[in-house]
Amino acid sequence: MNDLFELHKSLVRSKILILLLLMFLMSVPPASAHGPKGHGGVAFTSLQAAKKGIELYDKLVASGKLEESWETDLANIEVFTRQKGEKREVVVKFSRSQGEPLSVYIFFTEKGDYSGSNFKGN
């Protein structure tokens, strides 16, 4: 019985992640699509950051480092860049509809290497 529950839970998690990824992909207008490296030869694209961020996020939820509500109450995923000193970072922000903190951030270098995370929401 527990095996069926775990299988169901795993399928639900997979469906949620696929749905979120599809929502993200559909929100990018075709006019902004400039090939696999984007505009200006960016080495690590927003899509790559979203995929890598979701993989890491899923591992954090599965391992219990993020509580289950981060899976059930997930509301939004954003990808943006920020300047930190002279370095540019790609940020993947996961937001949930309730609970504290409301957001978790995962940071990558311009080349796509993991550079840190923030579970405090600021």
Instruction: Determine the Cα–Cα distance for residues 101 and 23; give it in Å rounded to an integer.
Output: 23
Q: Quick check: 38 and 45 in contact, CB under 8 A?
A: yes
If phi > 0 it is left, if psi is from -120 to 50 it is alpha, else beta; for residue 56 that is alpha
Q: What is the mean pLDDT of the chain?
A: 81
Write the pLDDT tens digit of every residue in 28-82: 555 454 444 445 555 789 999 999 999 999 999 999 999 989 989 999 999 999 9
Residues 114-119: what's their mean pLDDT?
90
For residue 48, the model assigns a pLDDT of 95
DSSP assignment string, 48-111: HHHHHHHHHHHHHHHHTSS-THHHHTEEEEEEEEEEETTEEEEEEEEEESSSSSSEEEEEEETT
Write the pLDDT tens digit of every residue in 106-115: 999 999 999 9
For residue 35, the model assigns a pLDDT of 47
For residue 120, the model assigns a pLDDT of 78
For residue 92, the model assigns a pLDDT of 96
Which domain, by its residues, includes 46? Answer: 2-118
Number of domains in the chain: 1
Please tell me what DSSP assigns to residue 36. Answer: T
Q: Kindly state the tokens that stand for 121.
A: 């929401």
